[in-house]
Structure 1
Amino acid sequence: MAIHPQLPNAITVVRIPLAVVFFVLLLIGGSFGDPHLGVRLTAALLFILAISTDWVDGYLARRFEIVSDFGKLWDPIADKLLTGAAFVGLAILDEIPWWMVIVILVREWGITVHRLVVRREHVVAAAWMGKIKTAFQGVALAWALLPIHVVIGFVPWAIVTMVLMWIVVALTIASGIDYVIAQVRGARSSR
């Protein structure tokens, strides 16, 4: 079966407007105390759909050997827009602490800016630890966004959410350090 060579890139690009629509719906839906639970659920499901496309575009690119520099560069950017929108939205709604969001966003966008700066020399693909971090962020954010509190109660939901966010912060910091070490080693070996 042949697929169009630009399909993975198209899926990546679609994630960008989905992030915007998701963010607007999340803010309209509000926190769990607000009467717009259906809008919040729609936002959560849109996030899950959008974050799932990250796996789909990567799988297609590898499976059909159509990995591109565009995809290597823009796939992480699309991911960071989507997850960043979720983190910021949850902080605006006062469901996770701003300090966690700031730590996560500084790492995410710092590395993204670095990738953009060095893209003329070489394209930096996501490392395995960064991929684990992104996958865990997706799971943790999906948990935090879904109205699971209706089923299990607010306190258990809040406890699990905070544990997941602490793990996300730890993985974010660890993968950031791993990225910096890899770049320093790469720069030394190229001299």
Structure 2
Amino acid sequence: MSWQLTTSTFRFEKRIYIPLPDIEARKVMLGIHLGDTPNELSDSNFTAIAEKTEGCSGSDISVLVRDALMEPLRKCQQAQFFTPCDDKAHPVRNGPFLTPCEDDPPCAYCHMKLSTCRPKCPECKAPCQRCGALRMRLYDLPERGYSDEKLRPPMISMSDFTRVLEHSTATVASDELNRFVKWTQEFGQEG
């Protein structure tokens, strides 16, 4: 850090402290890192995420968004049921595409795979009569006649960010920030 440098620091033309991004900057960064990825986030969701990332650097926010972008793929990998949907992953009865079901099972009428089921159990392969969900794993899609193009991962949602935020932490400690502020007061300039 700057306090570990020798006196050559004073030869720098400018010694400016740039603080961590504030809430508005974090909202903008979230939008930049999401880019044009389809999502279900509202402005209030962006505000809530920005509030929960207090103390995060720009790099921390970049990592957070990248991790949240992986959540729909994780949902596909962990899914036990897939439901027909439209092109935007909204469930539609007899839709041309498939998206992972949020619940396992999706409804009370879905066939549960029991330990007594045979490997080629017809009930396990038939769609649910009530909700249309198919019991299968991601890697069963080709075997069941569905190409990769038929899979529609769910859109990024607030729950994806909530899940990722549970495991992420800011990489800059508050005592380290205090040291930067103190150093700036002694040797630097305000940015």
TM above 0.5, yes or no, is no
Q: Compare the two structures and name the one with the higher strand fraction.
A: 2
Choose between structure 1 and 2 for higher RCO, CA contacts under 8 A separated by at least 6 residues.
Answer: 2
Q: Compare the two structures and name the one with the higher helix fraction.
A: 1
TM-score by length of 1: 0.29
TM-score by length of 2: 0.29
Greater C-alpha radius of gyration: 2
